[in-house]
Amino acid sequence: MSLTGSRTFVGFGFGAIQSGLFLYEAFHSGEFRRLVVAEVMPEMVAAVKQDGGYFWVNIAHQDRVESVRVGPVEIYNPAVETDRLNILSAIVEAEEIATAVPSVAFYVSDKPGSIHRLLADGLCQKVEQGRPRAVVYAAENHNHAAEILESAVVDLIPQEQRAAVHSRVRFLNTVVGKMSQVVTDPFEIQTQNLTPITPGLPRAFLVEAFNRILISKARFPDAFQRGIHVFQEKDELLPFEEAKLYGHNATHALLGYLGAILGVQRIADLQKIPGILPFARTAFIEESGAALIRKHTGVDQLFTPDGYRDFADDLLERMTNPFLVDMIERVTRDTERKLGWNDRLIGTMRVVLAQGVAPRRYALGAAAALVRLDPSIMEGQTPVGSVLDTLWQEASPDQTERNRLVALIETALKELRSWRAAGFPDLEIFLR
């Protein structure tokens, strides 16, 4: 398959989501003649260029892994001046742009090749030259990523040009429920029969086949046709973002931290341990689900008992797909962030409590995360409250809410110790 369309796509960040979702779907749409991507890792840029702009993505289905070659793409390093100018000219002609970088913190830097600076310059030139309208997909795992990116970009645009730029561009939030990873272990690449990104780069992109990605509406005055057709627009995206963070992400983390306590290596291994998946399913449906259904009832079929149960069951099957090779070490990475006041574990507990539901199982997940962060907590050598206060300092939480959460997690920690002392029996039965 070759690039036969007429459109231009620009991506920032060349990781598993950019490659295995945005570039992959743009390539297979048949709508694009140019696929351009900005990446700051020189070895990645050099390897793809050396292979003629082609790269491989491994797609995990429920029964196999499929390797797909994508390209050619134009890959540039924004730290190199000639590459930066090439990215800038591509933004001017692009109809669709996507950021897929580690976090919203990567939007802004003081370098000329900063994402926000390139977008501001490129969008201004787009207006001046009368080039096509564009949408910018913000694919970072943050409920307000598009607003954060747009604000950073607009701050650099002269006041007299802002209205004109806004008339040509829309920043869209996304709900990317597609699990993915970059596999760097040569042994894993070999044993899982994965195809490296390029022959000269010993890493592999591995993504699940799922591609039902939700996005906010562009809301141009007249119709805007996207080249990437598979994305689904929603009038109100925030409820679905909350389902992703407080349902999908929270339960994935819950499984990861319980897996760490149990000493297993892969999320798929948890299928063999009695009670773990029923425990996670109950947390997903009776805690997260019950709260979000109350909060967002009437918004969509998802926020009904049947809809949320189907959502949970589908995700638990996907999370435990053995072909996804989802490692406990990867899922439990960056624990400090995942225990943040508004993130997947504590944020879920807060939402659940606000809707009058007891987050007992997610509290146990938070306790397990604390043990992962500092094993001495399991033995009672470190006070739970002091650790959490350090993590929550920037959020300045309400003390009443803080005290309630700490008490729940302290109780969960006692349950975790009892579960360990009992030899890790069926967890759902043990808690009941």
Q: What is the pLDDT of residues 41-85, one digit of tens each?
A: 999 999 999 999 999 999 999 999 999 999 999 999 999 999 999
For residue 352 the two structure tokens come to 């659940």
Task: List the strands of the sheet with 180-183, edge to edge.
Answer: 65-70, 55-60, 204-208, 180-183
Residue 1: pLDDT band (50, 70, 90) is low
Q: What is the pLDDT of residues 105-124, one digit of tens each?
A: 999 999 999 999 999 999 99
Q: Where are the domains of the chain?
A: 7-235, 239-431
Q: What is the pLDDT of residues 128-168, one digit of tens each?
A: 999 999 999 999 988 899 999 999 999 999 999 999 999 99
Q: 3-state DSSP call for residue 242?
A: helix
Q: Say if residue 270's pLDDT is above 80.
A: yes
SS3 content of the chain, % helix, strand, coil (to 5): 55, 15, 35
Cβ atoms within 10 Å, residue 158: 9
Cβ atoms within 10 Å, residue 203: 18
Q: Is residue 163 packed enough to be buried (19+ CB in 10 Å), middle (13-18) or exposed (0-12)?
A: exposed
pTM to 2 decimal places: 0.92
The CATH architecture of the domain made up of 7-235 is 3-Layer(aba) Sandwich (3.40)
Phi, psi (rounded to 5 degrees) for 182: -105, 115
Of the options 2.40.110.10, 1.10.1040.10, 3.10.20.740, 3.40.50.300, the CATH number for the domain spanning 239-431: 1.10.1040.10
For residue 155, the model assigns a pLDDT of 97
For residue 4, the model assigns a pLDDT of 79
Q: Say if residue 2's pLDDT is above 80.
A: no
Q: What is the pLDDT of residues 159-212, one digit of tens each?
A: 999 999 999 999 999 999 999 999 999 999 999 999 999 998 999 999 999 999
Please answer whether residues 197 and 190 qualify as being in contact, where contact means their C-beta atoms are separated by less than 8 angstroms.
no
The DSSP line for 197-239 is SBTTB--EEEEES----EEE----SS----S-TT-EEES--HH
Q: How far apart are CA 36 and CA 14, in angstroms?
A: 10
Q: How far apart are CA 113 and CA 101, in angstroms?
A: 14
How many residues belong to the chain? 432
For residue 277, the model assigns a pLDDT of 97
Q: What is the pLDDT of residues 361-387, one digit of tens each?
A: 999 999 999 999 999 999 988 899 999
Q: How far apart are CA 346 and CA 390, in angstroms?
A: 14
For residue 432, the model assigns a pLDDT of 80
Q: How far apart are CA 393 and CA 344, in angstroms?
A: 17
Average pLDDT over residues 335-340: 96
Residue 123 gets which letter from DSSP? H
